[in-house]
Amino acid sequence: MPTRSPARLVVALAVAGVLAIFLLYTAVAGHSTPTLTPSEIQGKSGKLSVVGTVVGKLRGDSHAASGLQFQLVDPQGHNTKRVDVVYRGTSPPPLFRVGRSVVVSGTYAHGRLQGSDIVTKCPSKYTSSPS
């Protein structure tokens, strides 16, 4: 004759364990980063990511001390607010250029984003055909 099932206890312990790990992580190690568009960045500072379209002239070199300089605007083009970016590090991805949608991560202070990482969006997939 089967005795009282430990299944519920196992499940409860597992759920509790997962929650505990999750809370521990979010309390100790977890830190999320704000991901903003140029029109949302006003009044913010610190580590963040900016999603936008590259505009203006590309100046400088990402490997040099002065960095690669460009500007970002809202991806949808509804807002004209621009963010100045200075990016230093490895060369940006090959698809990076004016007009391309990118995500730049870094530190924002005094109206300028000091970028340390650029992700260029992969074009063509699953965008609707122009009609």
Partner 1 sequence: MADLGRAALVVTFGLAVYALVAGGIAARRNERRLAASARNALYCSFASTLIAAAVLAIALVRHDFSFTYVAAHTNRHLPVAYALSAFWGGQEGSLLLWLLILTGYGALAVAINRRLLRDLTAWVVPVIGGIATFFSFVLVAVASPFDTQTAPFDGAGLTPSLQNPYMVAHPPMLYLGYVGLSVPFAFAAGALLSGRADERWIVATRRWTLAAWTFLGFGQLLGAHWAYVEVGWGGYYAWDPVENAALMPWLAATAFLHSVMVQERKGMLKVWNMVLVALAFELSVFGTFLTRSGVVNSIHSFAKSSIGSWFLAFVVISSLFSLALIMWRLPLLKAKTKLESALSREAAFLYNNLLLVALCLTILWGVLFPIVTQLVKGETRTIGRPYYDFFLRTFGLPLLLLMGVGPLIAWRKTSVRGLTRTLAWPTTAAVVTGVTLVAVGAGSSSPGLIAYTFSAFVLATIVVELVRGTRATGSLFTLVARNRRRYGGYVVHAAIVLLAIGIAGSSAYSSSVERRLAVGQSMTLAGYTLTNRGVTVDPKPNVTETRAHLDVTGPWSGTISSGDNQYVNPPEPSREVGIKTDWLRGEDLYVIVDEAHPKTGLIFVQVLVKPLINLIWVAGIVFLFGSAVALWPDAREQRRLVARLAPAASA
**Which residues bind to partner 1, rule: CB under 8 A?**
2-3, 5-7, 10-11, 14, 18, 21-22, 25, 29-30, 32-36, 40, 49, 51, 63, 90-91, 93-95, 101, 103, 119-131
**Residue 48, SS3 per DSSP:** strand
Bridge partners of 50? 36, 104
Nearer to partner 1, 30 or 111 (CB): 30
Task: With CA atoms as reference, report the closest residue to 87 among 67, 72, 57, 111.
Answer: 67
Least distance (Å) from partner 1 to the CB of residue 94? 4
SS3 49: strand
Identity of the residue, 111 or 121, whose beta carbon is nearer to partner 1 in the bound complex: 121
**For residues 107 and 89, what is the distance between their CA atoms, to the nearest angstrom?**
14
Q: Find the shortest distance in angstroms from Cβ 30 to partner 1.
A: 6
